[in-house]
A = this chain, B = another copy of it.
Amino acid sequence: MTKRKEEVIYQGRILDLARETHLMPDQREARFEIVRHPGGAAALPVLSDGRLILIRQFRPAANDFIYEVPAGRLEPGEDGAACIGRELIEEIGYAANKIEPLDWVYSTPGFCTERIHLFLASELSPAEIAHEPDEFIEPQILSLNDALAMIENGQIRDAKTQICLLRYALRKMQRS
């Protein structure tokens, strides 16, 4: 809409980087560095007893093992629900019979196009885990109260994971 010029600097395996020139509302041109990402999907898996499943995995960008909800990148043409159904099997070894959309969010819209589609996953049944070679993932089963405490004390620091947990908690509180 407002884009006047673009220069693709890098085309990679999971993201592209571009310099874009946009026409601003005051008719001046401004330049932006934009990371182009295909988007992803993430889900909070809820077991029949109400406990939740998070994963703990090594993230080079954090240089640490961090807690997250299961998540993955969209394949070309794939929708969010199909993507997260696949990722739940690959990452925690459960197939979800019920995948309920929460929303999609921009992870960091100041410089990145990534949209993450968020879901609640329930009616889970065991399936065979099949991690990808660059993933080292440890599932963790915990209560909602424990997960909220882990947000408060800084043990859960992933944005999409906080959003899934907080929206699930708020929904439960509003219904009770």
* Interface-central residue, A22, A111, A113, by most chain B CB under 10 Å: A111
The answer to whether A48 has its CB under 8 Å from any CB of chain B is: no
Known: A103-B151, A166-B166. A3 touches B60 (CB 8 A): yes
Task: Give complex CA distance A108, B61 in Å.
Answer: 9
As for how many copies of this chain the complex holds, the number is 2
Q: Is the CB of B66 within 8 A of A106?
A: yes
Report which of B22, B32, B62, B159 forms a contact with A159, defined as CB distance below 8 A. B159
Task: Give complex CA distance A163, B166 in Å.
Answer: 8
**Minimum CB distance partner of A62 in chain B:** B109
Please give the distance in Å from A102's CB to the nearest CB on chain B: 9
Task: Give complex CA distance A34, B17 in Å.
Answer: 11
Task: Give complex CA distance A33, B45 in Å.
Answer: 28
Q: Is the CB of B136 within 8 A of A25?
A: yes
Q: Is the CB of A32 within 8 A of B10?
A: no
Task: Give complex CA distance A97, B167 in Å.
Answer: 30
Binding site for B on A (CB under 8 A): 1-3, 9-10, 12-15, 17, 19-20, 22, 24-26, 28, 30-35, 37, 40, 58-63, 66, 68, 71, 73, 103-116, 133-134, 136, 148, 151, 154, 157-160, 162-163, 166-167, 169-170, 173
A-B contact pairs, 7 of them (CB 8 A): A9-B17, A22-B60, A28-B133, A30-B133, A32-B60, A59-B106, A106-B158
Taking A32-B134, A163-B163 as known contacts, 7 extra A-B pairs with beta carbons closer than 8 A to each other, sorted by chain A number, are A9-B9, A14-B33, A30-B133, A103-B154, A105-B159, A115-B157, A166-B167
